[in-house]
Structure 1
Amino acid sequence: MELKVTTLDGKAAGNVTVSDEVFGLEPRVDILQRMVRYQELKRQQGTHKTKGRSEVSATSKKMYRQKGTGGARHGNKAAPQFRGGGKAFGPVPHSHAIDLPKKVRAMALKHALSAKIKDESVVVIDEARAADPKTKALLAKFEGLGLSKALIIGGAEIDENFGRAARNIPQIDVLPVQGINVYDILRCGTLVLTKAAIEALEERFA
């Protein structure tokens, strides 16, 4: 499969050949759903916490004698039914992460890339570089390419000027190729890949 390559100025820069095993698959929604769920659960903090009856600050003294009061039997005021008492079966810190085989995660990334190709939502540029860290100038180039909500994947390192100029533009995200992930690919409107990113992805899945 061949994809057209353009520059940031919108000029043609030839073609690049990509592998059908990475960019030409028929997208499977079930695999993409499993991967997105895996990512969302993994990044969930799980720091919610309430105090149990052994953790609240309360006296351990019995409220009143066991018999003869005409009332129910009670122990101390840390019991859950009293105001200020501990929470019964409250949340405790724990990880929400689930397991997903490495092969499935790799397959999900291939299907996400293929889904963007199928939707014609992929733009290939020769390089992601800027002479100056000027947001206004970079925004004009993005508008020329028709990019309003995009994820830009660079090479192993992001050009400093390009990264600084792009970080102030709403709905534009820039990641090195190591940070590419299914959730961000599916969330973005247009996926922008540099030639260096494509080479790295081809080598990764070779």
Structure 2
Amino acid sequence: MKLEVKTLAAAASGSIELDENVFGKPARVDILHRVVTWQLEKRRGTARGAAERSDVKRTGKKLGNQKGGGSARHGNRAAPQFIGGGKAHGPRVRDFNPGLNKKIRSLGLATALSVKVAEGKLVIVEDLALGDAKTKVLIERLNGLGITSGLFVDGAAVDASFALACANLHKIDVMPAVGANVYDILNHDTLVLTRAAVAQLEARING
């Protein structure tokens, strides 16, 4: 498929041929759901487990006589009420790092890209060279492109001026092609790719 290429100033800059194997996949909601769920679970941090009563190595010898001592009848120094004893109902380590087949992850990325194409929400630009790292200038460029919520994906490295200019803009994010992922693509209304980003994404998915 062929799409028009624009500049940041919304001027025409030729066209580009997109790989059908990357940008022409059918919409698979089940695949997108699996990949997004996997991404969000990978973000969760695991709590550091506390040593509970069974994990503490302390004497089990009875502390005193059963009766006549004037104090409670304790039988184990590992009990939670003692200093150095086990934690009562402490946090336990839980695993939030599920695995997901590499083919499914690759298919999920291609599906997300294809969904943006089908919705007409994919914009291809020549590059992200802004010249002057001014937020005001970038807002004018975005208004010209009709973008209020957009994910910009550059090639191997993000243009420094563009990254500085969009740092304070809500729902405008930028990342290199290696960081492109299903969750961020679906979380923005418009996906903006540079020519370099298209080449790297096609190589990443087809490789």
TM-score band by shorter chain is 0.7 to 0.9
Question: Per the alignment, do residues 172 and 61 of structure 1 end up closer, same or farther by CA in structure 2, a change over 3 Å counting?
Answer: farther
- Per the TM alignment, residue 91 of structure 1 is displaced from its structure 2 partner at its CA by 2.5
| 1:27 partnered with 2:32 | no
CA distance in 1, matches of 2:34, 2:63: 52
Aligned twin of 1:18? 18
Q: TM-score of the superposition, structure 1-length normalised?
A: 0.84
Aligned twin of 1:121? 121
- Per the TM alignment, residue 79 of structure 1 is displaced from its structure 2 partner at its CA by 3.5
- Per the TM alignment, residue 93 of structure 1 is displaced from its structure 2 partner at its CA by 3.7
Aligned twin of 1:186? 186
> Residue 24 of structure 2 aligns to which amino acid in structure 1?
G
- Per the TM alignment, residue 52 of structure 1 is displaced from its structure 2 partner at its CA by 2.0
What does 1:92-111 align with in structure 2 at a 5 Å threshold? 92-111=92-111
> Residue 156 of structure 1 aligns to which amino acid in structure 2?
A
For residues 13-64 of structure 1, the C-alpha deviation after alignment (integer angstroms, 9 at most, x for no partner) is 22211011111111111111111111111121113544523789x9988577
CA distance in 1, matches of 2:145, 2:82: 61
Query: Any gaps of 5 or more consecutive residues in structure 2?
Result: none
For residues 158-182 of structure 1, the C-alpha deviation after alignment (integer angstroms, 9 at most, x for no partner) is 1111111111212111000011011
> Residue 13 of structure 2 aligns to which amino acid in structure 1?
A
Aligned twin of 2:4? 4
- Per the TM alignment, residue 96 of structure 1 is displaced from its structure 2 partner at its CA by 1.2
SS, match of residue 100 in structure 2:
coil
- Per the TM alignment, residue 89 of structure 1 is displaced from its structure 2 partner at its CA by 5.3
Question: Per the alignment, do residues 188 and 53 of structure 1 end up closer, same or farther by CA in structure 2, a change over 3 Å counting?
Answer: same
Between 1:141-150 and 1:87-96, the stretch displaced more is 87-96
- Per the TM alignment, residue 205 of structure 1 is displaced from its structure 2 partner at its CA by 2.9
Aligned twin of 1:165? 165
Aligned twin of 1:138? 138
**Superposed CA RMSD:** 2.9
Between the aligned residues of both structures, percent identity stands at 44
Question: Per the alignment, do residues 34 and 66 of structure 1 end up closer, same or farther by CA in structure 2, a change over 3 Å counting?
Answer: farther
Aligned residues: 203
CA distance in 2, matches of 1:190, 1:63: 70
SS, match of residue 168 in structure 2:
coil
> Residue 164 of structure 1 aligns to which amino acid in structure 2?
L
- Per the TM alignment, residue 155 of structure 1 is displaced from its structure 2 partner at its CA by 0.8
Q: TM-score of the superposition, structure 2-length normalised?
A: 0.84
Query: Any gaps of 5 or more consecutive residues in structure 1?
Result: none
